[in-house]
Amino acid sequence: MKQTLTLAFLGGAREVGRTSILLELEDMNILLDCGINLGIRGENRYPISPPKKPDIAIVSHAHLDHSGYIPVIARKYGCKIYATPPTQDISEILYIDLLKIAKECNEAPPFEVKDVMALRKYFIDSSYRTPIILHENTRLTMYRSGHILGSAMIKIETDDLSILYTGDLSMRNSKTLEMADIDVGKVDILIIESTYGHSSDKHPSRQKTEQEFIKTIEKTIKRGGKILIPAFAVGRAQEVMLTLESHMRSKALTNVPIYIDGMIKKINELYRIYWFYLRPQIRRAIRYAKRNPLESRLFTIVKDRDEPVEREEPCIIISTSGMLEGGPAMFYLKELGSDPKNLICLTGYQVPGTRGRRLLDGERKIELPKGGSIEVLAGVKMFDFSAHADQPSLFRFISYLRGLKKVFCIHGEEIKVLDFSERIKKNKKIEAYAPKVGERIPIQV
How far is Cα 56 from Cα 52, in angstroms, rounded to an integer?
A: 12
| Closest to Zn ion by CB, 332 or 420 | 420
How far is Cα 116 from Cα 143, in angstroms, rounded to an integer?
A: 26
Residue nearest to Zn ion (CB): 63
Whether the bond between 321 and the residue before it is cis, its omega within 30 degrees of 0, is: yes
| Closest to Zn ion by CB, 168 or 201 | 168
Site string for Zn ion, 357-396 (x = CB under 5 A): ----------------------------------------
- Helix pair angle (414-423, 391-399), 10° resolution: 40
| Closest to Zn ion by CB, 225 or 327 | 327
Q: Is 441 helix (H, G, I), strand (E, B) or coil?
A: strand
**Cα four-point dihedral sign 16, 22, 25, 29:** positive
Candidate segments 55-63, 67-75, 117-125, 215-223, binder of Zn ion by CB under 5 A: 55-63
Site string for Zn ion, 263-302 (x = CB under 5 A): ----------------------------------------
Q: Smallest distance from the beta carbon of 206 to Zn ion, in angstroms? A: 18
Contact 56, 28 (CB under 8 A): yes
Q: With binding defined as CB under 5 A, does residue 65 bind Zn ion?
A: yes
Candidate segments 63-71, 96-104, 132-140, 154-162, binder of Zn ion by CB under 5 A: 63-71
Site for Zn ion in 101-120 (CB under 5 A): none
Q: Name 11's bridge partners.
A: 20
Candidate segments 64-72, 175-183, 259-267, 362-370, binder of Zn ion by CB under 5 A: 64-72
Q: With binding defined as CB under 5 A, does residue 63 bind Zn ion?
A: yes
Site for Zn ion in 161-190 (CB under 5 A): 168
Going by C-alpha positions, the residue among 122, 119, 111 that lies closest to residue 45 is: 111
Candidate segments 160-168, 262-270, 291-299, 331-339, binder of Zn ion by CB under 5 A: 160-168
Contact 217, 316 (CB under 8 A): yes
How far is Cα 86 from Cα 63, in angstroms, rounded to an integer?
A: 12
Q: Smallest distance from the beta carbon of 89 to Zn ion, in angstroms? A: 16
- Helix pair angle (264-273, 236-249), 10° resolution: 80
How far is Cα 189 from Cα 211, in angstroms, rounded to an integer?
A: 39
| Closest to Zn ion by CB, 168 or 188 | 168
How far is Cα 47 from Cα 116, in angstroms, rounded to an integer?
A: 18
Q: With binding defined as CB under 5 A, does residue 18 bind Zn ion?
A: no
Contact 74, 118 (CB under 8 A): yes
Whether the bond between 60 and the residue before it is cis, its omega within 30 degrees of 0, is: no
Contact 268, 356 (CB under 8 A): no
How far is Cα 70 from Cα 120, in angstroms, rounded to an integer?
A: 12
Q: Smallest distance from the beta carbon of 12 to Zn ion, in angstroms? A: 8
* CA 401 distance to own-chain centroid: 23
| Closest to Zn ion by CB, 81 or 258 | 81
Q: With binding defined as CB under 5 A, does residue 210 bind Zn ion?
A: no
Q: Smallest distance from the beta carbon of 442 to Zn ion, in angstroms? A: 26
Q: Smallest distance from the beta carbon of 15 to Zn ion, in angstroms? A: 11
* CA 198 distance to own-chain centroid: 19
Candidate segments 62-70, 93-101, 341-349, 354-362, binder of Zn ion by CB under 5 A: 62-70
Candidate segments 58-66, 225-233, 297-305, 348-356, binder of Zn ion by CB under 5 A: 58-66
How far is Cα 412 from Cα 9, in angstroms, rounded to an integer?
A: 13
Q: Smallest distance from the beta carbon of 13 to Zn ion, in angstroms? A: 13
| Closest to Zn ion by CB, 195 or 268 | 195
Q: Smallest distance from the beta carbon of 51 to Zn ion, in angstroms? A: 23
Q: Smallest distance from the beta carbon of 168 to Zn ion, in angstroms? A: 4
Q: Name 163's bridge partners.
A: 156, 189
Q: Smallest distance from the beta carbon of 63 to Zn ion, in angstroms? A: 3
Q: What letter does residue 368 receive in the DSSP assignment?
A: -
The site for Zn ion, by CB under 5 A, has a size of 3
Binding site for Zn ion (CB under 5 A): 63, 65, 168
